[in-house]
Amino acid sequence: MLNLPGLAKPTCPIILGVADLGGSVDQETSFAIMDRYVEAGGNHFDTAHIYAAWLPGRVGSSERTLGRWLRSRGLVGKMLIATKGAHMALDGVYAPRVRPECIHADLQESLDRLGVDRVDLYYLHRDDPTVPVECLLAALEAERARGRIGAYACSNWALPRLHEAQALAAARGWAGFAVNQMAWSLAAQPAEGPMSTYAVDPLYRRWHRETGLPLACYSSQAVGFFARTWTWPSQGHAKKFDAYCTETNVRRAWRAQAYAAARGVTPTRIALAWLLHQGHPVLPIIGGKTVAQISDSMAALKLSLSPGEVRDLERA
């Protein structure tokens, strides 16, 4: 277990992302997935106000399903719950909504969906560089003072803005961001993605090593990239792998397959263990649509890699 700044509960190093639960995954399977995660030692759930607005009539389904599960299992207040707000609408316009009024409104709706009066961790899901950092942090500090959030964090922030926010918080005596959430996996992807999403690059890596700020990684399994047997050149692969279909990543997949075969585990487990052995706090966010997938991912907690193996997996 890890202790994160501002949080009363220690966290499992692997976080369960529940974006699809209650949406593309039915409730019975969703409950079984969350049950299995907890049985394997997990306690940290990651959702968002916008999940799963990409499915007709399913906006808010992730938070509602998580809330129903918490109540049905008697676990309200016993798990670590993180949600995110102030995301742009998925209407093709993608106008920024990172403003205090959106933060407060989204948080209230998230609490209502979850059926709780407080979440442990609240992320700004996006950033808007035209809004002063002080204005955003003040809104989050106000929610922390009200007791509706335990700590606050950011997702998909450019490094200069993140640095500015942390410096301002220190100067004001505010808590500052407890966690940064970005895309990162053993399979590299473009540093900047659609709708202003960001992936970890060498500058972020150095900054996190130097500051020790915990880094939560979405897309940690690279949408199943390591679960496939890869050849090069890659042809005929599903569109969801396009950002990952590079020669470098295929060579990394080969190395992960070789390590997996030698240890009798899956390459996905090797890729998650690589994130867990970075020498600073890294928390992979896993997903899955079956109980078996969750079991395999959680088994990465028991897998050890040497510093040399960590370097070798990345080298290509």
Mean pLDDT over 9-15 rounds to 97
What is the per-residue pLDDT across 186-227, written as a single tens digit (0 to 9) for each?
999 877 776 779 999 999 999 999 999 999 999 999 999 999
Considering the domain delimited by 15-178, tell me its CATH architecture: Alpha-Beta Barrel (3.20)
Q: Determine the pLDDT at residue 27.
A: 97
Q: Determine the pLDDT at residue 59.
A: 93
Q: Determine the pLDDT at residue 232.
A: 63
Give the range among 30-44, 120-134, 229-243, 282-296 with minimum mean pLDDT.
229-243
pLDDT at 239 over 80: no
Task: Give the residue from 201, 208, 210 showing the smallest Cα distance to 183.
Answer: 201
- Alpha helix segments (H runs only) across the chain: 27-39, 61-72, 100-114, 133-146, 159-172, 202-211, 247-263, 267-276, 291-298, 307-314
What is the per-residue pLDDT across 43-73, written as a single tens digit (0 to 9) for each?
999 999 999 999 999 999 999 999 999 999 9
For the chain, what percent of residues have pLDDT higher than 90?
A: 87
Q: Determine the pLDDT at residue 229.
A: 82
- Going from N- to C-terminal start, the domains of the chain cover 15-178
Angle (CA) 78 81 86, round 5°:
155
